[in-house]
Structure 1
């Protein structure tokens, strides 16, 4: 079992779900950029979950970029966007900031926030 403890800053939207992966992505237009030093893990993932997350996260980025293009995520509005992929949930929100998208990704077997999923 893989255990990762984040020290210092917690990134992403939520820290009440474990295990979860959180990050602050840089937004330029409809493109998103991941910076590893703006990410954190809360709780424990199994090695299998880590492998799946490594493969799934880039696909979530593509879905979030499409959501930006369609206006489902807006840099000037605090609006939640949620999507699922490969048994994982990704919650995202710009929080009304200009230039950032905050995300939290966690296994779908963990109860979701109650926010409706947008395909």
Structure 2
């Protein structure tokens, strides 16, 4: 019985860790995907983008940067939620484990 509980705990723990690793990978790739076109756009503009900025280029860049910040914050929030779920699950698991031992 104890072995089955520990195996279930290990599987659930691995699931939480995998979810967190996946989101942390997204936190790495999202800025690259968002900044990739931005850097390409600046390179194609020949650097004149900063020498003579205009509203045509300033608005899309501002929107892109705000979008990037929002996406990263959402991913950070998802990580916090998963960690909180894991903490709650682990607390319940430990309480259940001790309750089972005290029943004997």
TM-score by length of 2: 0.29
Bigger helix share: 2
Larger Rg: 2
TM-score by length of 1: 0.26
Looking at both structures, which has the greater relative contact order when contacts are Cα pairs under 8 Å and sequence separation is at least 6? 2
Bigger strand share: 1
